Amino acid sequence: MLRAPLLLMAFALVSGCASLLSSAATGLADNLSLAILNQDDPETVRAGAPSYLLLLDSFVEGSPDDPDILAAGATLYATYGAVFAEDEQRASRLTTRARRYALKAMCESYSRACAWPDATYDEFVATLDGIRPKKAGYLYTYGFASLAYLRAHSSDMNSIAELPQIEALFNHYLDISGDTVNSSAYTYMGILLTLRPPAAGGEPEKARQYFEKAIALTDGKDLGAKVEFARGYAKKLYEREMHDRLLNEVMAADPYQDGFTLGNVLAQEDAAVLLAEADDYF
């Protein structure tokens, strides 16, 4: 779950780490980010990305209080841990570092966020109103890293209990982000609202609206949104016709879309597995 959608913000955000270093570094980061997103071989990214992780760690060591650098590190660690780390312990370590970087980025840019680890739900939500549009990117990064962390720690009930906080976070992000909104936020909201049954706070019909919004915003180029729509909504509601239609659309689509290629290749891999399992499920 979340493999393709997690990629869509990963390397776009990483370029921010170089903003205070030099124009040459900024150009390098931007070009590398685009090259990775347009890579059609996930194994090449799996093998090459760790070097970039170490590079970002060195930037953090040099500027430990810079929220842009911390956010960039959080984004790449969260993505690699959730998408490419197959070993559970490794995924746990990588996403734990991601969340630590993301929290530090929020804390440096918004002091009330420093208390989030020990906050109750009500205390957490009360702090969100103070986060303005200029801080939307850092808020997104924290939510993004938190989702990756919670996915890697899904067997821990304390982690699952944090889902309502992350839902509230993305709701606020959508409220303040305006024209800069990232379509993946709608996919994440759809996932969050289908992780739990209605009796425990799940809202499948509202989730459907979020999935459809994510697809519309990218003109269908983000195949990961369709996979999560099929998995999170159609499959759980036993809508076989919708489930198969969405996944067959993914399989028939051209994955080569600027900025989406890597995520689309992974989405097609996931779609093939879901279709193969469909007869046993429905």
pTM metric for this prediction = 0.86
Residue 109 within any structural domain of the chain? yes
**Is residue 159 assigned to a domain?**
no
Mean pLDDT on 6-10: 50
Q: 3-state secondary structure string, the chain? A: CCHHHHHHHHHHHHHHHHCCCCHHHHHHHHHHHHHHHCCCCHHHHHHHHHHHHHHHHHHHHHCCCCHHHHHHHHHHHHHHHHHHCCCHHHHHHHHHHHHHHHHHHHHHHCHHHHHHHHCCHHHHHHHHCCCCHHHHHHHHHHHHHHHHHHHHCCCCHHHHCCHHHHHHHHHHHHHHHHHHCCCHHHHHHHHHCCCCCHHHCCCHHHHHHHHHHHHHHCCCCCHHHHHHHHHHHHCCCCCHHHHHHHHHHHHHCCCCCCCCHHHHHHHHHHHHHHHHHHHHHC
- Residue 202 falls inside a structural domain: no
Q: How confident is the model at residue 32 (pLDDT cuts 50, 70, 90)?
A: low
- Per cent of the chain over pLDDT 90 is 60
| Domain assignment of residue 65, given as a range | 1-113+131-148
Does 190 reside within a domain? no
Q: Tell me if 35 is assigned to some domain.
A: yes
Q: What is the CATH number of the domain that holds 109?
A: 1.25.40.920
Residue 49 in domain = yes
Q: Given this model, what pLDDT does residue 36 score?
A: 76
Q: Is 80 exceeded by the pLDDT of residue 158?
A: no
Domain total in the chain = 1
pLDDT at 15 over 60: no
Residues 216-245 have a mean pLDDT of 96
